[in-house]
């Protein structure tokens, strides 16, 4: 038999799924007698032993000790996930819907609360990224004079509320002048993303007109200072101490590895960016994670969006022995529920 997942027989397929389920439930090596008794495979324990041996040869199972049962490999988890058709129970769906029944005007707070909810429901470490500023759509531009040469520059976006910055202007402007400048910028910038607005502002500042027209230059400079983007999205991590409840993390070295990755956040952002680009659910297992610090873990991530524009992601990070059948629909449904709230 070749090593490809497509070459598994019907019996091997059923046994592999049963073995992975048993190991996820017990965190202990799975024996042939155990699987034969607990799952209706239509074969005796002796046949199960032979099938397990074949799956071990194919790289799906490993045997820690000669007398012990088998443990799934990364290849087995990938096969298991690829053949899942998980559904979310009504009770958990209702809990998520109830959570979003009274949405906040603070989108960052809603995103953070999504990570808290996932951590509670899965008993795993949950992560959420706040909406990236560069993809947010501008709805309004406003400048307010605070005192001499000090201006509160404000962009209002559809999905993430108000973004403001205190700007020290090159000269003092009256409120009437600031209103005209805001109206001038709004004509072009409303309906663009913040990243598109930044590019447009920089291009206009390089043009001849901006050198000689004080009104235009003043408006462009105020807008450009306001729209300077942060390089990294905000990352919210909830339930990191829940890793202590997992048998895998009794090994302190592995626990430190996870906590370092959660603290640094660079590895997580790179991974969650993949789900944003693909605009679909992402399940990354072990060595599939590009960052070596996450090589011993699995990540289930899903993007949330406003309309067709992905804004950020929600995710669960946990051991390879994650309960994928439960976690995947919870992450997916939470992301969809958050997206629906942002669209209203």
Count of domains forming the chain = 3
What pLDDT shows up at residue 262? 78
> Exposure string (b/e) for 306-330, b if CB count within 10 Å is 16 or more?
beebbbbbbbbbbbbbbbbbbbbbb
Residue 66 lies in a domain: yes
Q: If 0-12 CB within 10 Å is exposed, 13-18 middle and 19+ buried, where does residue 139 land?
A: middle
Mean pLDDT score across all residues of the chain: 85
pLDDT tens-place string over residues 311-340: 889 999 988 999 999 999 999 999 999 999
Residue 272 has pLDDT above 90, yes or no: no
Same domain, 267 and 248: yes
Domain extent for 261: 90-130+234-342
What pLDDT shows up at residue 3? 43
* 136: number of Cβ within 10 Å: 24
Same domain, 150 and 291: no
CATH number of the domain that 189 lies in?
A: 3.30.390.60
What pLDDT shows up at residue 306? 80
pLDDT tens-place string over residues 277-307: 777 899 999 999 878 878 888 999 999 988 7
Last residue of a domain, one of 226, 252, 271: 226
Same domain, 122 and 269: yes
pLDDT tens-place string over residues 30-39: 988 888 888 8
Same domain, 216 and 196: yes
Same domain, 171 and 126: no
Same domain, 112 and 244: yes
Same domain, 258 and 308: yes
Residue 62 lies in a domain: yes
For the ranges 34-38, 175-179, 196-200, the maximum mean pLDDT occurs at: 175-179
What pLDDT shows up at residue 155? 84
CATH number of the domain that 38 lies in?
A: 1.10.10.10
Residue 250 lies in a domain: yes
Determine which of 104-108, 113-117, 297-301 has the lowest per-residue pLDDT on average. Answer: 104-108
% the chain with pLDDT above 70: 93
For the ranges 20-29, 269-278, 292-301, the maximum mean pLDDT occurs at: 20-29
Same domain, 49 and 94: no
Same domain, 211 and 296: no
What pLDDT shows up at residue 316? 95
Residue 6 has pLDDT above 80, yes or no: no
Same domain, 115 and 239: yes
Same domain, 334 and 186: no
Residue 215 has pLDDT above 70, yes or no: yes
């Amino acid at each position: 038999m070749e090593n490809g997942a497509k070459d598994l027989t019907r019996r091997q397929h059923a046994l592999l799924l049963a073995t992975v389920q048993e190991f996820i439930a017990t965190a202990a090596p799975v024996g042939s007698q155990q699987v034969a008794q607990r799952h209706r495979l239509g074969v005796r324990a002796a046949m199960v032993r032979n099938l397990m041996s074949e799956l071990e040869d194919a790289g799906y199972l490993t045997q820690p000790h000669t007398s012990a049962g088998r443990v799934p490999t990364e290849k087995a988890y990938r096969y298991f996930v690829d053949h899942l058709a998980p559904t979310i129970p009504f009770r958990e769906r209702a809990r998520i819907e109830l959570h979003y029944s009274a949405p906040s005007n603070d989108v960052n707070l809603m995103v953070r609360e999504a990570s808290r909810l996932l951590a509670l429901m899965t008993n795993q470490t949950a992560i959420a990224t706040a909406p990236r500023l560069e993809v947010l759509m501008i709805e309004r531009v406003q400048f307010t004079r605070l005192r001499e040469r000090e201006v509160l520059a404000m962009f209002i976006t559809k999905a993430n509320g108000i973004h403001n910055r205190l700007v020290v202007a090159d000269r003092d402007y009256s409120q009437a002048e600031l209103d005209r400048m805001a109206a001038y910028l709004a004509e072009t910038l409303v309906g663009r993303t913040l990243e598109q607005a930044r590019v447009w502002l920089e291009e206009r500042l390089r043009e001849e007109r901006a050198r000689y027209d004080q009104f235009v230059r003043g408006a462009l400079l105020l807008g450009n200072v306001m729209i300077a983007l942060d390089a990294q999205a905000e990352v919210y991590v909830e339930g990191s101490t829940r890793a202590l409840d997992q048998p895998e993390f009794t090994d302190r070295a592995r626990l430190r590895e996870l906590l370092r990755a959660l603290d640094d956040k660079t590895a997580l952002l790179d991974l969650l960016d993949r789900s944003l680009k693909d605009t679909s659910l992402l399940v990354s297992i072990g060595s599939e994670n590009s960052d070596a610090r996450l090589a011993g873990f699995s990540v289930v991530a899903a993007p949330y969006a406003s309309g067709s524009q992905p804004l950020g992601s929600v995710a669960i990070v946990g051991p390879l022995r994650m309960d994928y059948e439960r976690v995947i629909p919870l992450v997916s449904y939470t992301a969809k529920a958050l997206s629906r709230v942002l669209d209203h």
